[in-house]
Amino acid sequence: MSPPSPKADFDWENFSPTKFIPVNGHIEARFSFSTGTWSAPTLVSGTDISISGLSPALNYGQQCYEGMKAFRTAGGRERIVIFRPEFHANRMAGSAASVCLPPPPQNLFLECVRKAVVENAEYVPPADSASSSFLYIRPRAVWIIYRPVGPVRRGDISGIRPTGEAPSWTKGHEGPRQR
């Protein structure tokens, strides 16, 4: 089965790479500390993600990301290919571990990237595009933590003990994301 054609009403030769172009959505998968597993990737429409203001990603920069390209091949059978996805999956896992985030398994990373490209395939420029355009993919790992805490001074009322953590893995650039 061939991928869908590039958007016909889009000027692939004269668009600015800095201009926001809405796409079909982003991909999200959640990690559960209680089970040690990732959820199945899901397509979420829009570009917004839900993130706590207490996230170490916002407060301490505790996050990591990758950047890769998807483009169409020229010639007989048109395909959409992703440049070195396994390399990026391995590097993301190493980056996540280095900043104490749960590393996404390679198969999940690759599934999420593939799903993001499939769901937004009409935004992959034509192979004959003189502008050498491509679909940019930005996988992101972001950790969101939540912890009810008790008072820090002795003698205050007793508080609630920490109950858990909920990280989030985001994927995409102006669309494809993973959480």
Averaged pLDDT, groups of 10, the chain, 179 residues long: 82 75 88 89 87 80 88 82 95 91 92 93 81 82 57 50 49 44
CATH of residue 55: 3.30.470.10
| Cα 122 from chain centre | 18
**Cα separation values, 173 from 78, 82, 115, 140, Å:** 24, 15, 14, 9
Per-residue model confidence as pLDDT tens digits over 21-60 = 888 989 999 888 889 899 999 999 988 888 878 777 888 8
The H or E element containing residue 170 is strand 168-171
Phi and psi dihedrals of 176, rounded to 5? -60, 120
Total number of domains constituting the chain: 1
In a domain, 40, yes or no: yes
In a domain, 48, yes or no: yes
pLDDT value at residue 176: 41
| CA nearest to 122, candidates 9, 1, 5, 36 | 5
Structural domain containing residue 94: 26-150+157-171
SS3 at position 11 = coil
Q: Answer yes or no: is 56 within a domain.
A: yes
